[in-house]
């Protein structure tokens, strides 16, 4: 028996991982803690996040691009899970950047198409995926090609195969401090335009049973209030319904540009009044 003392109420991921909590076949790990109401909680740990593997899949990749901003592998994994993929499915990331979604798909046996406006990003995603195949011995199908998400035409085979769209769309420029109202208005308008055009373009091309899990930008001001993309209130007119109707925001406390996660299904396009 061993005791892992912890000063804070929550056990950090690093402490759990480094102490191999829940990862030993011959032992069980019991957590005893008190919650904020004073109740004593006794629980058994069943596993921990492998932070070393996440770090390798993030910072260990040959190609990174801080300006484009890269999706944390953990969030890519969450989004793939929310889209409901099963092994052997085909997903599509139409804003694939350096290929984090393609990577996390390959690691769970899901095939992936990636496209991006930038040729440079396609070469980065291709190099990163070759590294994934070598490093983790994955053998799923993947393909990355240059295309504008607002006008791309899927091939007949892609239309038949793709059952999930998982992507982090264009997020606008990065900000280290909240922008002026004029600048914010400009960036929100620009992102809203690109993402609406993208959703409209793919609506008639994707299968009716497709699930979309997309990360779009939301901007935090000094008071911690968020400006959301106007299209979120207009999804019906674009031909989509939200299947998880919750405000799923992923951000650090002080981060200006947060990622808002939308889980959607295609629906009939609502007539404008
Ligand atoms: C926030 S980044 C995505 C980063 C990616 N998730 C990764 O892990 O590297 C957004 C990407 O959208 C691409 N992009 C911007 N406008 C686009 C468009 N109209 N069609 C397709 N891709 C576009 C950019 O080149 C950029 O790579």
Look up tokens 């195949």; give the residue: 133
**220: CA distance to ligand 1 center in Å?**
21
Statement: residue 185 has pLDDT above 60: yes
Pocket test residue of 77, 78, 95 for ligand 1, highest count of atoms within 8 A of CB: 95
Both tokens of residue 218?
């939301």
Indicate the pairing of strand 111-116 with strand 211-220.
unpaired
Give the separation between CA 87 and CA 89, rounded to whole angstroms: 6
The pLDDT, as a whole number, for residue 162 is 98
For the ranges 1-15, 44-58, 92-106, 242-256, which has the lowest average pLDDT? 1-15
**142: CA distance to ligand 1 center in Å?**
17
Statement: residue 36 has pLDDT above 90: no
pLDDT, tens digit (0-9, with 9 covering 90-100), for 226-261: 999 999 999 999 999 999 988 899 999 999 999 999
The pLDDT, as a whole number, for residue 19 is 80
Statement: residue 145 has pLDDT above 80: yes
* Residue, of 104 and 2, whose pLDDT is higher: 104
Pocket test residue of 62, 79, 117 for ligand 1, highest count of atoms within 8 A of CB: 117
Per the CB < 8 A criterion, the answer to whether 78 and 108 are in contact is: no
Find the mean pLDDT for residues 61-90. 92
| Smallest CA separation from ligand 1 atom 1, residue | 170
The pLDDT, as a whole number, for residue 272 is 56
């Amino acid at each position: 028996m061993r005791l892992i003392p912890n000063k804070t109420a929550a056990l950090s991921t690093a402490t759990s991982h480094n102490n191999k909590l829940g990862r030993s076949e011959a032992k069980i790990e019991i957590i005893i803690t008190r919650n904020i109401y004073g109740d004593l909680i006794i629980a058994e740990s069943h596993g921990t996040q492998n932070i070393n593997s996440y770090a390798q899949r993030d910072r260990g990749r040959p190609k990174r691009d801080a300006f484009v901003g890269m999706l944390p592998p953990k969030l890519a994994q969450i989004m793939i899970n929310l889209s409901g993929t099963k092994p052997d499915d085909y997903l599509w990331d139409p804003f694939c950047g350096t290929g984090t979604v393609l990577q996390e798909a390959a690691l769970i046996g899901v095939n992936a198409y990636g496209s991006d406006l930038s040729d440079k990003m396609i070469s980065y995603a291709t190099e990163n995926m070759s590294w994934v195949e070598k490093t983790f011995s994955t053998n799923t199908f993947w393909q990355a090609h240059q295309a504008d998400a607002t006008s791309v035409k899927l091939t007949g085979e892609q239309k038949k195969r793709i059952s999930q769209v998982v992507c982090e769309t264009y997020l606008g420029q990065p900000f280290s401090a909240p922008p002026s109202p004029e600048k914010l208005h400009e960036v929100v308008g620009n992102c809203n335009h690109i993402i609406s055009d993208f959703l409209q373009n793919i609506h008639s091309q994707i299968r009716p049973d497709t699930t979309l899990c997309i990360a779009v930008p939301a901007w935090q001001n000094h008071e911690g209030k968020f400006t959301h993309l106007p299209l979120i209130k207009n999804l019906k007119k674009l031909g989509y319904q939200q299947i998880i109707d919750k405000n799923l925001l992923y951000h650090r406390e002080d981060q200006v540009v947060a990622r808002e996660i939308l889980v959607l299904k295609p629906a009939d396009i609502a007539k404008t009044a």
